[in-house]
């Protein structure tokens, strides 16, 4: 029997009187492309935060290929093979694209690292960074400062930072947000080219792209799973229109 790439069981998180997630259980199989949809405030990003270790849940468990990581710190989850992008970009604007990717790679290294060490002399890290930047079409921009790039290039940079860590499971939080039509098409192609040995869970509001990308879809509302199924099943279910499409 195949072990799920990501197994979420009974996950719950409260912030005061607000139940951000309530008894969420989701099973994502290796190589799957899973789409999370739901209105604003449905709990999608909060769920990602619990999977990634930014928040610890009040109840429930999170397993990566059968290994329980519910109470493990984020850096340990990265080493286990969990990658993530953020809805709000988290970059160092005065550093080069290459250096941003190198900094992301530090989370995958065993042992400690010296903040005083010259990272520019770590040719192995620089080579891995350049390979990741090439993967997202930014090879020629590796030496540019982030502040000198476009918003679309920064979105691709964040994807490169996640891919450089060689994730087995990749969480993508609205990777197309704020992009022009041309930039969305560029990122769509990049996502399609990610090999199937990387399992992807996607939050995205560009439904044309997201529905074409997804194998299965989970609909969340008020922190709960409303329904789950194939694209055809979720689109045909009247609860999708009621909850997500507004009537």
List, for residues 169-225, the tens digit of each pLDDT value. 999 999 998 899 999 999 999 999 999 999 999 998 888 888 889 999 999 999 999
Residues 4 and 51 occupy one common structural domain: yes
Residues 1 and 23 occupy one common structural domain: yes
19: CATH: 3.40.50.300
Residues 74 and 186 occupy one common structural domain: yes
Identify whether 205 is part of a domain.
yes
pLDDT at 40 over 80: yes
Kindly indicate the confidence band of residue 120, based on its pLDDT and cuts at 50, 70 and 90: low
Residues 97 and 150 occupy one common structural domain: yes
How many domains does the structure of the chain reveal? 2
Residues 234 and 187 occupy one common structural domain: yes
Residues 185 and 150 occupy one common structural domain: no
Over residues 104-119, the mean pLDDT reads: 62
Residues 175 and 160 occupy one common structural domain: no
Residues 45 and 34 occupy one common structural domain: yes
Q: How far apart are the first and last CA of the chain?
A: 40
Residues 98 and 162 occupy one common structural domain: yes
Is the model more confident about 198 or about 18? 198
Residues 128 and 180 occupy one common structural domain: no
Residues 96 and 74 occupy one common structural domain: no
Kindly indicate the confidence band of residue 90, based on its pLDDT and cuts at 50, 70 and 90: confident
Over residues 28-35, the mean pLDDT reads: 97
Burial of 181 by CB count in 10 Å (0-12 exposed, 13-18 middle, 19+ buried)? exposed
pLDDT at 115 over 50: no
pLDDT at 17 over 70: yes
pLDDT at 161 over 70: yes
Average pLDDT value over all residues in the chain: 90
Taking CA atoms, 205 is separated from 7, 174, 208, 221, in Å, by 24, 7, 9, 15
pLDDT at 129 over 50: yes
Residue ranges making up the domain that contains 123: 91-166
Q: Kindly give the interhelix angle for 97-105 and 151-164, rounded to the nearest 10 degrees.
A: 30
Residues 138 and 182 occupy one common structural domain: no
Predicted confidence at residue 113, as pLDDT, reads 52
């Amino acid at each position: 029997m195949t072990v799920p790439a990501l197994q979420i069981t009974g996950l719950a998180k409260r912030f005061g009187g607000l139940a951000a997630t309530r008894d969420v259980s989701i099973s994502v199989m290796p190589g799957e492309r899973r789409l999370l949809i739901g209105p604003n405030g449905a709990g999608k990003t909060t769920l990602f935060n619990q999977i990634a270790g930014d928040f610890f849940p009040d109840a429930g468990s999170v397993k990566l290929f059968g290994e329980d990581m519910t109470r493990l710190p984020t850096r340990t989850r990265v080493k286990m093979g969990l990658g993530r992008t953020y809805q709000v970009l988290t970059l160092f604007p005065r550093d080069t694209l290459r250096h941003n990717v190198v900094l992301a790679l530090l989370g995958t290294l065993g042992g400690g690292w010296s903040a005083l060490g010259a990272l520019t002399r770590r040719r192995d890290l620089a080579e891995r960074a350049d390979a990741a930047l090439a993967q997202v079409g930014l090879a020629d921009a590796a030496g540019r400062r982030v502040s000198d790039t476009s918003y679309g290039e920064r979105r691709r940079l964040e994807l490169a930072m996640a891919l450089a860590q060689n994730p087995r499971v990749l969480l993508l939080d609205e990777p197309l947000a704020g992009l022009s039509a041309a930039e969305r098409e560029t990122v769509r192609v990049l996502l399609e080219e990610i090999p199937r040995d990387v399992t992807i869970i996607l939050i995205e509001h560009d439904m044309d792209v997201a529905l074409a990308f997804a194998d299965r879809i989970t609909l969340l509302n008020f922190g709960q799973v409303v329904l789950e199924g194939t694209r055809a099943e979720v689109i045909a279910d009247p609860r999708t229109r009621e909850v997500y499409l507004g009537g």
